[in-house]
Amino acid sequence: MKVASNVYRSMFDSSVERLRFGNTTRWQESGDIVSALKCAYRFHDYPLVGNVSARLLSLRQEKVSQTHTCQSIRGLINEFGVNGATALVPMQYFHLLSQIAGDEARSLVVKSDVRKVMQVLAFLAQRNTKFKRSTNAKGLIHGAVWYLVATMEMLTWPDVYALLPLQVSPREDFPEESLHGVGHGLLIRTSSGAMRSCDHHPVAESYSALEQMAHFCGQAQTAKHAFMCANGLYHAYVEYFHDHDRGLLEWLFPCSEFVLSGWCFAWTFGQGMIYQEGKVQRSHRLYATTHLKTHITSVCTADAMKAEANVLGCIWGLSTFYLHYHEGWVAEKTASSGPIDACARTPHMTTANPVICHLLMRNISQRRTTSNSSLVDWCSFFVPTVLQISNRDFHRWMVCLHGALFEIRKFILKRGMHALCVHDLPGQVSNPVWERAASWCREFLACDEQIWCDDDIGKMVLADY
């Protein structure tokens, strides 16, 4: 039987008051209990939301230290709801817990209740990400989204949108993680065999099916949603695709040919060639890049690209991950320890600093540095001069800026959001390219770190659509 919301309000207030006088560590450790209570108060009449009882609190230490199975997690959901279950299992089980919650939601008689369950999971994902300070808590939404998308009988965007918690509340938009999960679900649909709620994310190996799913992403309602869907699809490709060795001459495939290739290149360059769990992933790609006779940026304008859209995708994807490290090197390029060490000391965006820094430093001419600005210097790899520039090269330059600023925004707040545009892009020079670039740059950084801004430059990355 559900407990009245005012009772939960009282329980929540008293719990917060008790925790407030503890130390910071205790507050963070107890954050999931507070989240379970707040969820019960806020969503008290939603399906799969359970009562937060004294029994749950007494079980916490015992359950958190246990090894859990699919059956034990399902039992916790049935007894305590998804909110209680998240307080009783370690974070490494969140993807599995979410998949099971998605499976339970499928059996609900009222189909509109599925989205209510997804809203609860999105709320818990946000809360746990805050308290645990880890993006892994987003597994609470990823697992359910990819499971439900993967097991749909008929795949249509209206049906996909019907289940997505695109807005948890008027002030809490949640499109990024939802649509990222959609991309994972699309890759799962390309694997052989039906996925069950307790299965691990399966491996796929059909390039033609992967290409079809990329086109499906492109049919989303907005360019922003297509972009986010492709993010999840190509992330899943890098992690869970059995990538047959097509040889060194084709190491850029499928990014060099498929649509919405920006994230394909970004994940390939940023994660697809690095060391994971002691093993070298995508060994032929790592071998190919470390044996290039030219700088890594030269691959983006290579003959392997099917269309200009793939060239733009490559520039965007490479810039998304690598400008951050290039900036660290430019800032300390006179360091006595050498440029690779200076690059490697850059705050991590991936676990592959040494690999990325060696790729950046190979075949680079010290005299080619065109500016003390890391941003201008980086984009000049792709477009050497902007004094007399074609329309094609202008697009390449602006897409480079978009990719470069896309991820680095979170690392430049201490420098001031607009300083990068004001100082790195010399807008005072009488040059239409600089003036437009500086103006767009300032507008882009003013987007308050949103995942995407609906601007004309960003849409160049989605040139296929």
Q: What is the pLDDT of residues 92-140, one digit of tens each?
A: 899 999 999 999 998 887 888 999 999 999 999 888 887 776 777 788 9
Same domain? 106 vs 211: yes
pLDDT confidence of residue 195: 86
Burial of 332 per CB tally in 10 Å (0-12, 13-18, 19+): middle
CA 19 to chain centre: 32
Looking at residue 49, the DSSP 8-state letter turns out to be B
Same domain? 310 vs 236: no
The pLDDT confidence band at residue 201, using thresholds 50, 70 and 90, is: confident
Same domain? 115 vs 229: yes
Per the domain annotation, does 437 fall within a domain? yes
Boundary residue ending a domain (207, 223, 242): 242
CB 336 within 8 A of CB 399: no
CB 231 within 8 A of CB 187: no
- DSSP for 209-278 reads HHHHHHHHHTTSSSHHHHHHHHHHHHHHHHHHB------GGGTTTTTTTSSSHHHHHHHHHHTTTSEETT
Same domain? 70 vs 192: yes
Does 12 or 72 have the greater pLDDT score?
72
Same domain? 334 vs 219: no
Per the domain annotation, does 10 fall within a domain? yes
pLDDT confidence of residue 329: 58
pLDDT digits (tens, 9 = 90+) for 258-272: 999 999 998 888 776
Same domain? 98 vs 19: yes
pLDDT confidence of residue 220: 92
pLDDT confidence of residue 349: 55
pLDDT digits (tens, 9 = 90+) for 96-108: 999 999 999 988 8
Per the domain annotation, does 282 fall within a domain? no
Please give the average per-residue pLDDT across 299-308, as a whole number.
86
Per the domain annotation, does 289 fall within a domain? no
Q: What percent of the chain has pLDDT over 90?
A: 25
Per the domain annotation, does 225 fall within a domain? yes
Same domain? 79 vs 197: yes
Average pLDDT in the chain:
75
The pLDDT confidence band at residue 28, using thresholds 50, 70 and 90, is: very low
The interaxial angle of helices 113-132 and 70-86, nearest 10 deg, is 70
Please tell me whether residue 313 adopts helix, strand or coil conformation: helix
Same domain? 236 vs 302: no
* Whole-structure pTM value: 0.84
Q: How many domains does the chain have?
A: 2
Closest CA to 120 of 108, 272, 289: 108
The pLDDT confidence band at residue 394, using thresholds 50, 70 and 90, is: confident
Per the domain annotation, does 434 fall within a domain? yes
Boundary residue ending a domain (221, 242, 263): 242
Q: Is the pLDDT of residue 38 over 50?
A: yes
Does 177 or 461 have the greater pLDDT score?
177
Same domain? 349 vs 228: no
Same domain? 92 vs 208: yes
Same domain? 37 vs 144: yes
Please give the average per-residue pLDDT across 63-78, as a whole number.
87
Per the domain annotation, does 465 fall within a domain? no
Per the domain annotation, does 354 fall within a domain? yes
Could you list the residue range(s) of the whole structural domain that residue 351 is in? 297-460
Residue 156: CB partners within 8 Å, gap ≥ 6? none
